[in-house]
Amino acid sequence: MAYEQTSIDTKLIHAGEIRPGIEGAVSLPIFQSANFESVEGEEYHDIKYMRLSNSPNHTVLASKLAALESAESAFVTSSGMAAITAIFHSLLETGDHVIFQDCLYGGTYDYARREFARHGLTCDFVDGDRPENWSAALRPETRMIYFEAITNPLVQVADLSAVVEFAREHDLVSVIDNTFASPVNFRPAEIGFDLSLHSGTKFLNGHSDIVCGAVIGRTEPVAKVKKMMNYLGGSLDAHACFLLHR
Ligand SMILES: Cc1ncc(COP(=O)(O)O)c(C=O)c1O
């Protein structure tokens, strides 16, 4: 069933579900299996293997998250930082430059300040409230603009439509950390963001009992980030998928 037209409450319960339920199970069972039978000729990324995030627990959860944000595609990760670093390392090349909002989650800020240079990446930080100043940070090698929906820790909300507009105008990938808003309050794809990410550890899970993350957005960049995540190994295990899916 397509869930585009249903309420977010219905999507939260039903989107992505396998029907009829396996063995009549109303709740998706946990597929605690690292390996699955292979089919001859399968591409590396299509082999069914827990690190490649393609067990039923992963795919059902991914479909639900995409539906919740009215987005094309999604996958889950072992943490929010796994999602963030995989985005940088899949969508940026040595020499690229990123424009960041100047208020950011500390881990993201630290990673950009301390680790970007080792990978040949550079960045600048802009005031989210002053779109008129963002072009001063542009360089010929700028590839990405990265904001937070509601910033951690200062709970600032920038003009997020202006971010999308700026990205389109300058051919940048637009990325937003949607952790603090959650899909209940904000769905970045609906205003045109290419990618949204979450520390699912927070509101997406809601029970404070797992660390997890998610990447949600347009099919093409999500697929690129997922391939990188398959190599980096920051996948979520099936039991944690079950806990996030509740
Ligand atoms: C806004 C935001 N983004 C990303 C992260 C990183 O997520 P995780 O701790 O799940 O790796 C956090 C963690 O506090 C956060 O608050």
pLDDT digits over 94-134, tens only? 999 999 999 999 999 999 999 999 999 999 999 999 999 99
Q: Ligand 1 test: best mutation among 175, 199, 216, 229, most atoms within 8 Å of CB?
A: 199
Distance (Å) from CA 108 to ligand 1 centroid: 8
Residue 33 lies in a domain: no
Instruction: Identify whether 37 is part of a domain.
Output: no
- The pLDDT, as a whole number, for residue 2 is 67
* 209-227 CB burial, b ≥16 within 10 A, e <16: ebbbbbbbbbeebbebbbe
Range of the domain at 95: 50-245
Q: Provide the 10 A C-beta neighbour count for residue 235.
A: 24
Residue 108 lies in a domain: yes
Ligand 1 atom closest to 180 (CA): 1
Dist. CA 180 → ligand 1 center (Å)? 9
Please state, for a pLDDT cut of 90, what percent of the chain lies above it: 95
The answer to the question of residue 55 being in a domain is yes
Give pLDDT tens digits for 24-55: 999 999 999 999 998 888 999 999 999 999 99
120 belongs to a structural domain: yes
In degrees, rounded to 5, the angle at the alpha carbon of residue 155 between the alpha carbons of residues 12 and 101 is: 100
- The number of folded domains in the chain is 1
CATH of the domain at 72: 3.40.640.10
25 belongs to a structural domain:
no
* Nearest residue by C-alpha to atom 6 in ligand 1: 80
Q: How many C-beta neighbours within 10 Å does residue 232 have?
A: 16
Q: Which residues line ligand 1 (CB under 6 A)?
A: 79-81, 105, 107, 148, 152, 177, 179-180, 199, 201, 211, 213
93, pLDDT greater than 80:
yes
Q: Give the residue numbers marked as catalytic.
A: 51, 105, 177, 202
From the list 197, 210, 246, the residue with the least C-alpha distance to 84 is 197
Per-residue pLDDT tens over the stretch 127-174? 999 999 999 999 999 999 999 999 999 999 999 999 999 999 999 999
CA distance 225 to 15: 23
Name the residue at shortest CA distance from atom 12 of ligand 1.
Answer: 199
